[in-house]
Structure 1
């Protein structure tokens, strides 16, 4: 599930050698095999051939590899993610699934550009006092220079609908603003409605609009606790995807030490403004001493990098309908490695190791059981955590005709259950062992919704929770995973998701906490649903219009 929290920097722009990868594979596969795959098989299904081949034991075995420490959190891009791609491809090849990537391979390669801060050429000075990168500040993603007096603007957001405007009556032209890194208390991205620059501004866009020359951010608690990792990490853009317009002016995030120098002798102390930034309770805006002139230089270096989607097809049995596809998708990336001592690997067993191995299990069955009428398209998307990169890229540059995809089923975080008596607030909306959220099925196709309900009722009759299909859902889960990019192209979707939990984007998201019995039921239900769609005499009709903002807002 997407949240912008990148981890370890990429270690190279080539796939690892097979000899190097196989050494790691053998170690982890051996450990996975020790877990066993000897679960008794259920009675064969005649309605959904191969259904009983999807087992909790197999899911556990696959996930032991995908969520292993050796894969280093599967950041995009990284050798750990490349190793996961090779692991997936090796299984697909063994099962006889057809490669559907580039040049007869399973990999749809995606060119990236890596940007890193040039530590030697990036600097900050307050008068004659010099400050250094990492020790005293972090740099934003725009190269440039700025120099000028400072104005503290609190949270820095202008939101007309909320009556928020920290710039009212203040001269920003030629100045550097000092603003919170976090949004105002009680405000989410979904609350920023209307046109930017007219109805709302964030600190950067406000500074640019009002003639400011730079931005100094007050760090959030999250930034303070991951400072070293952020100082060392790169930023990436996908070469062939439209990227956000780069900022026109440079920005930095100030350390407590630099803030101490900036706010020495001012109306509010560094301690007060920093506490306000962390609690999201700002001090009143004010201009700092006009004799304080801050100079900022941000320099970046660039180099090529790459990542890949993993794509395969299992061809259908009907000579005519096999030209159409039912798409199954999951993202196989996570957020990498942190810093410090102890456990620093974000294994991503649930997010989205659970979806990754769900697709593996279904791919095996579709490839080895009697085939449905339509073809099955399997896509393991890269870079979901970076901003839905893989699905955006695939739907812009599809390896099969996009108009021939009749539905897309997305699997993201289906592995956890809320236990009886669990009072942890972060698990409040986690579903139980016989329940899952189903997102998007009620928003596009009445026919697909009815089919989904009918298949579920005939199998395990899981409790399908549709709460996140509500218009105005503030969590906006419909826009936060890969199915969204298919929905934008009028492909009806279903997103299976069991809810956020206390280990979301944390080192605690490990394979030992997965409810494999629940996973088996959900994956079998998804398999049966995909098979039922593939055998329909016609494609599911799209008979509902999505909310307008789905076309231009994530």
Structure 2
């Protein structure tokens, strides 16, 4: 039976009212499609961009691609001087051996004779204090700085890690209050660090000297911590320095069973060292990409919901055969294009009351550089950011029957980890949960919110720097998988249907926060600890 004209009109009217209601509540979720996401990602993760290292030509190409899309869609530039780019100054330091010296007991050693050094330049003169491996880890009762005064002194440290502690534990912030030797030196007022040589150093001193002169690396200029001069003594000088002290050099470098962290002690007051490490630094730059979709409310448009991802990856391998380009399609090409398509959806859809701030961070893989720089140098008032939604790897799915142990924590096609949404604000956690239930009802996995998570996923992406400023955050993550940080992280392995659903869910969450009459209340400690 054919419907009547009246009935047809009623159906269309009902459908129109339903769509209008959905748009009013969720915004233009339909503008985000797997096809559009794929089109962006096939460029962002292309070999042409050479793995998007920070800094690199490939990363600059990605930044310009993002900015071009934003300009086409009419998004407001929110970088420096009316551009989409927030410039970050970096430097590549190189040792100057001719200008570097160390003096002890009236004798001055040239570089490579009595010492070698990292590229953290500086000079100083002072007394000496031995502090074990130099780490402070209160969670494990390791805190040599509680037992000796180091202000104005030079620290003597053993190389390596304290017994029972892995470098990964520190790198992943398993112990949130832990301080590396350079961080502890800065905090407690020491002026330099002198490392005791290992037995391997002693046997291969000339090789070590050559390696230090070939050091290459990049660091962010103007970071909160000043570079801490860190020298390694030649074995003969280390032996002379510790003669007559509580523990001689030969005993300190022995491996004991069971291994224990040695007790700290101050050296004889008359023993002093003066040093100068000369470093020449070549300046270079990278950039965050920043844009705004201005809100509709005259008052609330001065507040922002921040959405972010890191658009860098780890670049290229300098050695090896075969594929040497780390394309980073999932990490974090998936987040990069998700934020890009959310920007497009906000540009073409209804405008919420609050403004939306989009930030593509550089240097996440180098140590959360871009987000750290942004929160320390925000292009909008930092207190006006009501929440930050971070997207870092949302593109991979575990297939049924996959028993690969490297995919053990990978989420399936209808699941995603959400990390930290309740740590600083119950309001934000509830909004994330309720929005998801209204839309696709994905399986939100809170596994990484465990307070003693050994991987410390919460502290390993850009949202963490926003959380340290007291901004409620939510981090969306698919889980580590077999192609993580490998040249095989390619765009053809992405589950675009999943990326579409997750991106739409995050977009709707941001839209909900931006239309709420009140901002999410902060009821947790800054940082979320």
TM tier relative to shorter chain? 0.7 to 0.9
SS at the partner of 1:365?
Answer: helix
Q: Deviations over 1:7-34 (max 9, x none)?
A: xxxxxxxxxxxxxxxxxxxxxxxxxxxx
Q: Deviations over 1:29-64 (max 9, x none)?
A: xxxxxxxxxxxxxxx954134322312222122112
SS at the partner of 2:284?
Answer: strand
SS at the partner of 1:231?
Answer: coil
| Partner in structure 1 of residue 512 of structure 2 | 532
| Partner in structure 1 of residue 14 of structure 2 | none
Q: Does 1:317 align with 2:311?
A: no
| Partner in structure 2 of residue 234 of structure 1 | 218
Q: 1:298 to 1:507 in 2, by over 3 A?
A: farther
**Which of 309, 320, 330 is the equivalent residue of 1:330?**
309
Report if the CA contact (8 A) 1:74-1:333 is conserved. Answer: yes
SS at the partner of 2:318?
Answer: coil
Report if the CA contact (8 A) 2:117-2:277 is conserved. Answer: no
| Partner in structure 2 of residue 73 of structure 1 | 51
| Partner in structure 1 of residue 329 of structure 2 | 349
Q: Does 1:99 align with 2:77?
A: yes
Distance 2:190 2:359 in 1: 45
Q: Deviations over 1:167-186 (max 9, x none)?
A: 9x9xx9x9996734456434
SS at the partner of 1:460?
Answer: coil
1:531-550 to 2 correspondences below 5 Å = 531-536=511-516, 538-542=517-521, 544-547=522-525, 550=527
Q: Deviations over 1:508-543 (max 9, x none)?
A: 33323322221111111111111222222x13331x
Distance 2:74 2:180 in 1: 53
Distance 1:376 1:211 in 2: 44
Structure 2 unmatched ranges of 5 or more = 1-17, 201-207, 240-248, 264-272
SS at the partner of 2:360?
Answer: strand
| Partner in structure 2 of residue 501 of structure 1 | 481
Q: 1:66 to 1:45 in 2, by over 3 A?
A: farther
Q: Does 1:51 align with 2:29?
A: yes
| Partner in structure 2 of residue 473 of structure 1 | 453
Q: 1:81 to 1:229 in 2, by over 3 A?
A: farther
Q: Does 1:457 align with 2:427?
A: no
How big is the shift at 1:65?
A: 1.5
Q: 1:179 to 1:376 in 2, by over 3 A?
A: same
Q: Deviations over 1:72-111 (max 9, x none)?
A: 2222222222111111000111111121222221112233
TM-score, normalised relative to structure 1: 0.70
Structure 1 unmatched ranges of 5 or more = 1-43, 286-293
| Partner in structure 2 of residue 246 of structure 1 | 227
Report if the CA contact (8 A) 1:138-1:231 is conserved. Answer: no
TM-score, normalised relative to structure 2: 0.73
Distance 2:56 2:409 in 1: 32
Q: 1:75 to 1:295 in 2, by over 3 A?
A: farther
| Partner in structure 1 of residue 420 of structure 2 | 440
1:291-302 to 2 correspondences below 5 Å = 298-302=277-281
| Partner in structure 1 of residue 120 of structure 2 | 141
How big is the shift at 1:330?
A: 1.0
SS at the partner of 1:502?
Answer: coil
**How many residues were matched structurally?**
476
Distance 1:319 1:203 in 2: 47
Q: Deviations over 1:191-236 (max 9, x none)?
A: 6576x8xxx874995899999962157699xxx9xx8998333333
Report if the CA contact (8 A) 1:314-1:366 is conserved. Answer: yes
Q: 1:164 to 1:449 in 2, by over 3 A?
A: closer
How big is the shift at 1:351?
A: 1.9
- Bigger mean CA deviation after superposition, 179-188 or 202-211: 202-211
Report if the CA contact (8 A) 2:154-2:190 is conserved. Answer: no
Q: Does 1:420 align with 2:400?
A: yes
| Partner in structure 2 of residue 366 of structure 1 | 346
Report if the CA contact (8 A) 1:54-1:524 is conserved. Answer: yes
Q: 1:352 to 1:281 in 2, by over 3 A?
A: farther
**Which of 395, 400, 414 is the equivalent residue of 2:375?**
395
Report if the CA contact (8 A) 1:330-1:482 is conserved. Answer: yes
Q: 1:236 to 1:98 in 2, by over 3 A?
A: closer
Distance 2:328 2:507 in 1: 23
- When Rg is computed on C-alpha atoms for both structures, the one with the higher figure is 2
SS at the partner of 2:486?
Answer: coil
1:5-84 to 2 correspondences below 5 Å = 46=20, 47=22, 48-84=26-62
**Which of 48, 54, 64 is the equivalent residue of 1:86?**
64
Distance 1:340 1:235 in 2: 23
Report if the CA contact (8 A) 1:121-1:298 is conserved. Answer: yes
SS at the partner of 1:448?
Answer: helix
